[in-house]
Amino acid sequence: MLCVECGIREAKYDNLCEVCFRKKVKFTAMPQHMEVTICPHCGSVKFRGEWKKLSLEEALRGLIERNVDFLHDYDSYTFEFKYREDSEGYILDVTFHIKYRDLWIDEEHVSHVSIHYESCPRCNRYFGNYFEAILQLRGMREGESYEVLEYAHRRIEHYAVKNENLFVTKEEGKKEGWDIYLSDKREAKKIAKDICEKYGAALKESPQIAGRRDGRDMYRVTYSVRLPSYRAGDVLCIEGVYYLLERVNRSVLNLLSLKDARRKTVDTKKHMVEEVYPQHEFEEGLIVFSRDGNLQIMDSQYRVVETRSPFIFEDGQKIKFVRIKGEVYVLPCSS
Ligand SMILES: [Zn+2]
Ligand SMILES: [Zn+2]
């Protein structure tokens, strides 16, 4: 059969020869004008009613995919594009490579893309000082705030990677600690729990009604994280026995007895910590005599005190000790 158009060459595609088919048939159409909505604050792009963090390149690619019309069936296609800025937006040059049966066909389009600016909901909230939760950090020791706050911020960043709606609205230093206002209460709880776990802290949760939306009460939650009075490295008294606190894991304390060097694990939910001697209050001393667990120590005032210890020391060794109710307890050397 011959081509219905030219009547010269053999018809191979839709009753047309290849030359006439390439001339007559269009596979793609693109609008001459397109629009993309971008948040002026964070650069997010509105995509089918949803806001996404995209690069300009990704946004334009998506725009092309959504706006191309196919006028003829095809086997597959790819496309590439270039863009340049003009006074009202961007000029897009798009080339489609279409595979149809044994043919490769290239089609080119030029489109103008105008940029429409709209503040995204996340930025609306952010600039409106929106918050759902207050994370209160309490019970920090002097010189410790920096480390605890840094850890809190690292956890916030960790969860913010997966949740764009998580951000810090504001922060406030207080006499009793530090307050962090957060935009998402569910994430705030995870962050509070992480801090509790790391420092063996207690979590108190107090919700407040903050108004109504769509007929439902809206809650704000205060998560108060109270660090315990002890830290690893301190000396504690539990049931009348003095221990070095070697490790804290949630409510579980790993202890080393300063009397007989025995190790013990205690759960603070079942046992009370009666006294705490923080490590920065330990005294320094020098071993002047040690034999069979009997020690003589010279303190910083050059006075010699005597005690017994289950740990092994050498004469002349520098050690740390704590005086409790007239008794001297020597810390093992690694601490
Ligand atoms: Zn023809
Ligand atoms: Zn935004």
Instruction: Give mean pLDDT, residues 55-68.
Output: 92
Instruction: Provide the CATH topology of domain 282-335.
Output: OB fold (Dihydrolipoamide Acetyltransferase, E2P) (2.40.50)
pLDDT for 265: 96
Three-state DSSP class for residue 102:
coil
- Sign, CA dihedral 188-193-194-196, equals positive
Q: How far is the CA of 188 from the centre of ligand 2 (A)?
A: 21
pLDDT for 181: 94
Q: How far is the CA of 180 from the centre of ligand 2 (A)?
A: 21
pLDDT for 39: 85
Cβ atoms of residues 209 and 216 within 8 Å: no
Question: pTM, whole model, 2 decimals?
Answer: 0.59
The CATH number assigned to the domain with range 232-280 reads: 2.30.30
Q: How far is the CA of 147 from the centre of ligand 2 (A)?
A: 31
pLDDT for 143: 81
Residue 36 has pLDDT above 70, yes or no: yes
Q: How far is the CA of 73 from the centre of ligand 1 (A)?
A: 20
Which ligand is the nearest neighbour of the Cα of 10? Answer: 1
> What percentage of the chain reaches a pLDDT higher than 70?
99
Q: How far is the CA of 136 from the centre of ligand 2 (A)?
A: 27
pLDDT for 334: 66
Instruction: Give mean pLDDT, residues 62-67.
Output: 93
Residue 215 has pLDDT above 80, yes or no: no
User: Maximum distance among all alpha carbons in the chain?
Assistant: 120
Q: What are the boundaries of each domain within the chain?
A: 18-121, 131-226, 232-280, 282-335
pLDDT for 335: 47
Indicate the range of 45-49, 230-234, 287-291 predicted with least confidence: 45-49
Average pLDDT for the chain: 92
Look at 145 and 81; give whichever has higher pLDDT: 81
pLDDT for 49: 81
Which ligand is the nearest neighbour of the Cα of 165? Answer: 2
Q: Nearest Cα to 63, choosing from 118, 123, 120, 111? A: 111
Which ligand is the nearest neighbour of the Cα of 118? Answer: 2
Alpha helices in the chain (DSSP H): 18-24, 56-67, 121-127, 145-162, 185-199
Which ligand is the nearest neighbour of the Cα of 43? Answer: 2
Q: What span, in angstroms and rounded, lies between the C-alpha atoms of 78 and 95?
A: 9
Q: How far is the CA of 88 from the centre of ligand 2 (A)?
A: 21
* Chain centroid to CA 272: 34
Q: How far is the CA of 2 from the centre of ligand 1 (A)?
A: 8
Q: How far is the CA of 18 from the centre of ligand 1 (A)?
A: 7
Residue located via tokens 């269009």: 26
Instruction: Give the C-alpha distances (Å, rounded to integers) separating 71 from 1, 92, 100, 285.
Output: 25, 21, 13, 90
Residue 151 has pLDDT above 80, yes or no: yes
pLDDT for 211: 76
Instruction: Give mean pLDDT, residues 71-82.
Output: 96
> What percentage of the chain reaches a pLDDT higher than 90?
70
Q: How far is the CA of 42 from the centre of ligand 2 (A)?
A: 4
Q: Under 8 Å CB-to-CB from 291, ≥6 apart: which residues?
A: none
Instruction: Give mean pLDDT, residues 234-251.
Output: 93
**252 DSSP β-pair partners:** 249, 267
Q: How far is the CA of 48 from the centre of ligand 2 (A)?
A: 16
Cβ atoms of residues 140 and 177 within 8 Å: yes
Instruction: Give mean pLDDT, residues 103-114.
Output: 96
Confidence of residue 210 (pLDDT cuts 50, 70, 90): confident
Q: How far is the CA of 298 from the centre of ligand 1 (A)?
A: 110
Tokens of 66: 């959504």
Residue 89 has pLDDT above 70, yes or no: yes
Confidence of residue 22 (pLDDT cuts 50, 70, 90): very high
Q: How far is the CA of 7 from the centre of ligand 1 (A)?
A: 6
pLDDT for 88: 80
Q: How far is the CA of 163 from the centre of ligand 2 (A)?
A: 14
Tokens of 159: 């969860």
245-294 pLDDT, tens digit per residue, is 999 888 899 999 999 999 999 999 899 999 999 999 999 999 999 999 99
Q: How far is the CA of 1 from the centre of ligand 1 (A)?
A: 11
